[in-house]
Amino acid sequence: MMGEIKRVYLDNAATTMQKPPCVVEAVTAALTSFGNSGRDTGGHALDASRVIYEARCLVSDMLNLGNPKQVVFTCNSTEALNMAIRGLFQKGDHVISSVMEHNAVLRPLYDIEEEQGVSHTFIGVDEKGRLLLSDIEKHIRPETKALIFTHASNVTGNANDLMAIGKIAKAHGLLFIVDASQTAGVLPIDMKAMNIDVVAFTGHKGLYGPQGTGGMAVREGLEIRPMKSGGTGVLSYLQHQPEEMPTHLECGTMNAHSLAGLRASLNWLTKEVGIDQVHAHEIALAKRFYDGLKDLPVIHFYGDYDTDQRAAIVSLNIGDYDSSEVSDQLEGDYGISTRPGAHCAPLIHEAMGTVEQGMVRFAFSWFNTEEEVDYAIKAVRELAADV
Amino acid sequence: MRQKQLRLITTFHTTADALACEKACKAQGFSGRIIPVPRQLSAGCGLAWSCEPELEGEFAGFLKEHQVEFDEMAVILF
């Protein structure tokens, strides 16, 4: 059986494995033609600089940021979230976040609590893992400085109402920081309409770019203390990092080769295929998968599947089987890649009561097909029949 | 060495500004090109925009109109 095994990749919430051909072509071309961006004016270096600038423009347009200079590139959203969370607050400040967050938010918050004396409150969720939105205002104190929320949980796929949270932030004069790791390129984000100050994004998931790309879009005028300093190609005799964005938060050689791939994927996503169309396909596959299994009483689903405004994630458990065991059998017997365990998001598992069992996460992409979904349904049904 | 010519040189705070300048100029048909910052303007490296000195009167307004921030503008021999 192993020699004939089908390969179906359904771990797209971790990284979209398959990329558009234009991304592969762009990275390959960059690897054989780019100099060091921003470091000289030779044609090869300028090619790199131009591509990075175009990538900034595409991100700025996608998020309605309004200024490509406010797009800072990092190696992923974790780095961007660390920069924002560690660079915005002072001793005595308080921030509000949620149990839906990934460790990319939680660990920096725990760290700044110890290191900087910045306290936090985590808003809870209901039985379907939906944020208790009405609890946010109850926890705002005089020293509260920011609301830090994921756009969508990487575990349940549930999306938060950014417009509603942004209104609360505006009404109380709070910063609003959004972790869009699961939603950049998936769900619409309008920084101006939603009153968002910082959006952290990663390039290798819903944006279909290479790993090692990501960044943050920063509202104009917001000062984030640099986490790093070093060579910028400009103002070399300044002793500290220049104040101008994006240089203020970028130093060292940029990952131009991969950013060329991100530029290509952003162009493909926003100008060729369209974010709405990609999301419609992904969510239709997720719904097909859910609908194909929901009649089985032995399967427990986590998340709200009554809406399309969510990430294309379906997380489940089969009976009381260890999620790692289920995932391993899906991989070994059926060639289906999923993600079991805690998904680097401990608090949502505590809230959903799955710390011991974990969950098996299925996440769908533009490149998955209905045939693959049907194959995954058949596989899960066969495993569930043994319970 | 080539003979020096009078050029209008614009310097920027960031590489992104220089690229924004190039993009705006290309879109509007303004001639010019990116060069290394002449040392007589700044010792701190970076990219500059070089164009005909006759543009001196209108170039700052053009950049402002296209929301391109710049540091200095000077006509020099380069």
pLDDT tens digits in sequence order for chain A, 387 residues long: 445 678 999 999 999 999 999 999 999 999 999 999 988 888 999 999 999 999 999 999 999 999 999 999 999 999 999 999 999 999 999 999 999 999 999 999 999 999 999 999 999 999 999 999 999 999 999 999 999 999 999 999 999 999 999 999 999 999 999 999 999 999 999 999 999 999 999 999 999 999 999 999 999 999 999 999 999 988 889 999 999 999 999 999 999 999 999 999 999 999 999 999 999 999 999 999 999 999 999 999 999 999 999 999 999 999 999 999 999 999 999 999 999 999 999 999 999 999 999 999 999 999 999 999 999 999 999 999 988
Is B1 among the domain residues? Answer: no
A21-273 against A274-385: fold identical: no
- Note whether B13 contacts A38, CB cutoff 8 Å: no
B22 at the A interface (CB within 8 A)?
A: yes
Q: Which of A49, A237, A247 sits opposite B43 (nearest CB)?
A: A237
Show the domain range for B68. 6-77
Mutation to test the B interface, candidates A39, A40, A41, most B Cβ within 10 Å: A41
Superfamily of domain A274-385: Aspartate Aminotransferase, domain 1 (3.90.1150.10)
Is CATH 1.10.10.10 what the domain over A21-273 is classified as, yes or no?
A: no
Question: Contact, A60 vs A270, CB < 8 A?
Answer: no
ipTM: 0.80
Residue A108's CB is within 10 A of a number of other CB atoms, namely 20
CA distance, residue A44 to nearest chain B CA (Å): 13
Residue B2's CB is within 10 A of a number of other CB atoms, namely 5
C-alpha to C-alpha distances, A323 to A154, A243, A316, A356, nearest whole angstrom: 16, 48, 8, 9
Prior bond of A246 cis (ω within 30°)? yes
B49 at the A interface (CB within 8 A)?
A: no
Is B57 among the domain residues? Answer: yes
Residue A349's CB is within 10 A of a number of other CB atoms, namely 20
Pairing of strands A175-179, A144-150: parallel
B45 at the A interface (CB within 8 A)?
A: yes
Q: Which of B17, B20, B34 sits opposite A41 (nearest CB)?
A: B34
Can you give the residue ranges of every domain in chain A? 21-273, 274-385
CATH number at residue B57: 3.30.70
pTM score of the predicted model: 0.94
Complete DSSP assignment for A7-33: -EE-BTTT---S--HHHHHHHHHHHTT
What's the CA gap between A341 and A103, in Å, rounded?
A: 14
Q: Which two tokens stand for residue A303?
A: 């998340």
> Hunting for tokens 């925009």 — which residue is that?
B49
- Note whether B15 contacts A50, CB cutoff 8 Å: no
Q: Give A343's DSSP letter.
A: T
A21: buried, middle or exposed (CB in 10 Å: 19+, 13-18, 0-12)?
A: exposed
